[in-house]
Chains A and B, each alone.
Chain A
Amino acid sequence: MRRGMSIFTFGMIAALSLSTALYAQTAPPPPAQANAASKPGPAPVHDLTGVWMMHNPPGSNRGFTNYTFTKDPPELTPWGQAKYAEAKPSNGGQFTLQTTNDPVLTRCDPPGVPRVYFHPYPFEFVQTPKYILMLYEYDHIVRRIYTDGRPLPKDPDPLWMGTSVGHWEGDTTFVVDTVGFNDKTWLDRLGHPHTPDLHVTERFRRVDKDHLELDFILDDPKALAKPWTATFYYELRPNWELGEISCSGDYLDFKNFEGK
């Protein structure tokens, strides 16, 4: 929920009780934002440390970023089209929790890369001499991005979050290559498929102290007719700490969500 969620414009208001419409008066704007970024400044050199939250540029209406990468769908291979036709996502509103086959919602499967970015929670970079840790608030997901110069594995084992290596380009761009996935995850929340041959490139461009732009290149010739590219936007949250949001029995207790 973003600032302004509590600003409503109501049309017809019909009161079925003796009450006046007093309760229709919704909350005033929230108090000054505790998360307000600190003073603007240039990006530090080779440093992504901190908690980052998706933050689309002002004025943009990028609602699709809740579900998928781009407004226009990706170009799929025939295999990809057939696989995508099997997906029954709940997040677009077409399927309920009883009818979806979303692997995260129905089995608490790890989301994989890049789907982990569609959970509306922050992530944190922790830098060490040999690797950079990416801590995702959602379900305590951790990725190790090795920066010790090792190459990508040629014959990687299949993992939920893949195997990643990273390097700096210039002072402020960190490039991460990830391979070695299983084929159980979706690329996004609409159910676009991939194979174990998926190669994800993430280019984290820290454009200034408080802003990070993430360019994705999703390459998987068996599923995607051409690489799928997109850019997501993040903002530093200097006052935030990662909390706990855990996939668990409660997560899958659909009765909590669907009434009755």
Chain B
Amino acid sequence: MIVWMFGIVVLLGASSAALAHHGTAAYVTSSMVTVKGTMTDFRYINPHVQLYFDVKNDKGEVEKWQAELTAPNKLARAGWDKHTLQPGDTITATGYVAKDGAHTMWIRALIGPHGEPLRLSDE
């Protein structure tokens, strides 16, 4: 299930430093995409926490997605640990996707398995 959001996306107060150590050139940052998927792997690692999940597209096919959050030290201060997400969890991720069409996302907002928004920073 994929919901594409085009057009004007205005982030109020968003920091461009979120993906701080490497650039944003690989991502389309003029618009955001939201996908709902089922976690297959969760890697709580430096420098950026990685999510792998399956997304069923509108043809009923399963797409393999990879997405990254910010750094684990930042997420820890927002209450995360290596068990926060697990395979089988349903998540809804909103963010920027790769310019090259890869199923790769830089996550800017995340809904967790119980329908709750997950804090991505203690800032």
Contact = CB atoms under 8 A, between A and B. Distances in A.
A257 B98 CA distance: 9
Contacts of B62: none
A248 interface: yes
B38 interface: no
Contacts of B10: 8-9
Contacts of B73: 121, 137, 242-245
Contacts of A63: 16
Interface in A89-128: 89-97, 100, 104-105, 119-121
A256 B48 contact: yes
A129 interface: no
A13 B73 CA distance: 34
B68 A257 contact: yes
A226 to B, nearest CB: 28
Interface string A238-252: 001011111110110
B102 A1 contact: no
Nearest to B122: A35
B50 to A, nearest CB: 6
A172 B80 CA distance: 36
Contacts of B66: 259
Contacts of A21: 3, 5
Interface of A: 1-19, 21-24, 26-28, 30-31, 33-35, 53, 63, 66, 89-97, 100, 104-105, 119-121, 137, 240, 242-248, 250-251, 254, 256-260
Q: How large is the interface on B (under 10, 10 to 19, 20 to 34, 35 or more residues)?
A: 35 or more
Interface of B: 1-18, 20-26, 32, 34, 36, 45-48, 50, 57-58, 66, 68, 70-74, 76-77, 92, 94, 98, 100, 102-104, 108-111, 117-123
A242 B71 CA distance: 13
Main secondary structure on A side of the interface with B: loop
B3 A23 contact: yes
Given A30-B119, A256-B50, A105 B21 contact: yes
18 contacts: A5-B121, A9-B12, A10-B7, A13-B5, A13-B6, A14-B5, A15-B3, A16-B4, A16-B58, A27-B110, A91-B22, A121-B71, A240-B77, A244-B46, A245-B71, A251-B46, A259-B26, A260-B102
A20 to B, nearest CB: 8
B117 A120 contact: no
Given A6-B109, A250-B45, A66 B15 contact: yes
B18 A1 contact: yes
Contact of B12 (A7, A66, A119): A7
B123 A35 contact: yes
Contacts of A104: 21
B14 to A, nearest CB: 5
A10 B15 contact: no
Contacts of B22: 90-91, 97, 105, 254, 257
Closest 4 pairs between A and B when the two form their complex, measured CB to CB = A27-B117, A11-B8, A259-B102, A243-B73
